[in-house]
Amino acid sequence: MKATKTPALETPMVFVAYPPWHAALGANQLVSSSAASGAPEGHRRHRRLLHWDGGASGKLRKVKSVFREGVRYALKVASAHPESSKFLLRRWNVKPHHDYPRMLLSGPEPWLIPTESNLDRMFRDIGYRGLAKGATSKDHWESDCGKYRFSAAATAIHFLRSIPNSRCHIRKICLCEDYEAVAYPECHAKGLVPFCRENPELRIERRVSLWRNIFQKSYWWDGCDWERRVDSPLDREGRLAADEVTRPVADWMVEASVLGRAGMPQDPGRFTLVLDGDPTPERSSEVFCLAVQRDAAWQDAVEQCLVRDPLNWSSVLNMKLSRTFYFVGFPQLLRQLASDKSSSGIRCNFDPGEPWDIAPIVEANRGWNWDDWYERSHRPDLVFETAPPLPRWADLVRENIFPRIWETEEREEIEEWQWEEWEREWELEELELEELEREE
């Protein structure tokens, strides 16, 4: 059978960040001609790409939006060779009426405000025909009392698209991201790139509230998870845990830092991300000094130790998936922010503190392995409370859900009793573990 060449797709910038994908496919060739003819070698190369997921999180602490672009690119490869990718459907136990490849390939950009027809199409692609027709129970929708918002950036993109003939006259846009929004809001500035390229006079400032937006990002996953945050806070007293702070800050900063690669003009002032610590700049500074700067220093120290003694670590991958590692380049971005360098396009309206000296950290922790770093990075006792005029942190989080009719004083008493019961169970588990260790 005559071999046919597979049309080459444009290689996205994800290959710069994810060498394993690039190595699996080659620089510009998706799959060799032998794959198109069914030869085993090409088939193996194709399977290797589709199997590679970058470890447990699949992100290797790279920019998340770039990783998602890579996933979409891999799906394009899979859709071009359906026979070679059938094993994926078996592995994921995909139901016949679910068309996941079609759903993911045809899905809108995260900053798109969908129309009703967009939603119907997405539901049909998923296979939930009942949802597409509105044939779901009232209880299904009323069980979730969270408030789901579009980002200010998404709203601006929607507006600018609606005025194609007059938007070139706009000179400045200030986006106030005062609450967390849906669909990966930290990357929505990418949707503004075409308008900035079209209009050289346009200046965009995106102000993101720390207390009502960034700090409130879910600890568990990349989405709005308000009821879990209200019902199951990391801190029993409902305060902001230090372990929840740094990752969302890093998310926003690294996404802004790669806008140039996405085509955003790099002239000073064209696009600026402002981390907004108002109305309590002093408390915002305290959080940055004690939590964010500390975590960035620990990442720096981890990387230094890996360079000094690489054999002391199981692998670079384990290091990058650990709690002590946030994103590649994050400590450098934070140093630029602290030195008030606007070249990164990121600034803040409070004192972010000085970078920590990592030398004492490296020296004190000499000889630690990956497990040691992971265990000691956790700080359960470091928590933060808001300062006036903001309400308490627990009440601030509760602003994101509608009143729930089943919440009564009796429920609160039950929850208090549950906390005491859980504490007794935890104490028993610790005693059992200590006994097992003694027996060993």
List, for residues 409-436, the tens digit of each pLDDT value: 444 554 555 566 666 766 776 676 667 6
pTM summary value:
0.76
Structure-token match 């610590």, residue found = 277
Pairwise CA distance, residues 30 & 10, whole Å: 10
Q: How many residues does the chain have?
A: 440
Which of 262, 351, 207 is closest to 16 using CA atoms? 262
Can you read off the two tokens belonging to residue 142?
């009323």
Please list, in sequence order, all residues whose beta carbon lies within 8 angstroms of the beta carbon of residue 173, skipping any fewer than 6 positions away.
Answer: 156, 202, 203, 204, 205
Count the Cβ atoms, other than its own, within 10 Å of residue 82.
Answer: 10
Which own/partner pairs from 216-224 qualify as long-range (CB within 8 Å, at least 24 positions apart)? Answer: 216/180, 216/396, 216/397, 216/400, 217/180, 217/244, 217/247, 217/248, 217/251, 219/243, 219/244, 222/64, 222/184, 223/182, 224/146, 224/148, 224/180, 224/181, 224/182, 224/400
CA pseudo-torsion sign 279, 283, 288, 292: negative
Question: Which amino acid, 399?
Answer: E
Question: Which amino acid, 109?
Answer: E
Determine contact, residues 195/164, Cβ cutoff 8 Å: no
- Is it the case that residue 149 has pLDDT exceeding 50? yes
Pairwise CA distance, residues 152 & 225, whole Å: 19
Dump pLDDT digits (tens) for 219-260.
666 667 777 777 777 677 789 999 889 999 999 999 999 999
**Strand partners for 407:** none
Pairwise CA distance, residues 251 & 373, whole Å: 22
Please list, in sequence order, all residues whose beta carbon lies within 8 angstroms of the beta carbon of residue 264, skipping any fewer than 6 positions away.
Answer: 189, 190, 192, 193, 196, 270, 271
- Is it the case that residue 36 has pLDDT exceeding 50? no
Tell me what percent of the residues of the chain surpass a pLDDT of 90.
35
Q: State the pLDDT at residue 302.
A: 81
Q: State the pLDDT at residue 260.
A: 92
Dump pLDDT digits (tens) for 37-71.
333 343 344 343 333 333 334 345 578 888 888 77
**Strand partners for 177:** 208
Determine contact, residues 107/115, Cβ cutoff 8 Å: no
Q: pLDDT band for 316, please (50, 70, 90 cuts).
A: low
Please list, in sequence order, all residues whose beta carbon lies within 8 angstroms of the beta carbon of residue 82, skipping any fewer than 6 positions away.
Answer: none
Q: State the pLDDT at residue 8.
A: 47
Q: Is it true that the peptide bond before 331 is cis, omega within 30 degrees of 0?
A: no
Pairwise CA distance, residues 126 & 97, whole Å: 8
Average pLDDT, integer, range 257-281: 94
β-pair type (203-209, 383-384) = unpaired
Pairwise CA distance, residues 236 & 279, whole Å: 25
Highest mean pLDDT: which of 86-100, 124-138, 194-208? 194-208
Among the listed ranges 52-61, 98-107, 219-228, 332-341, which one has the minimum average pLDDT value?
52-61
Return the higher-pLDDT residue of 281 and 222.
Answer: 281
- Is it the case that residue 16 has pLDDT exceeding 50? no
Please list, in sequence order, all residues whose beta carbon lies within 8 angstroms of the beta carbon of residue 363, skipping any fewer than 6 positions away.
Answer: none
Pairwise CA distance, residues 439 & 434, whole Å: 9
* Percentage helix, strand, coil for the chain under 3-state DSSP, each rounded to 5: 50, 5, 40
Q: pLDDT band for 389, please (50, 70, 90 cuts).
A: very high
Q: State the pLDDT at residue 341.
A: 60
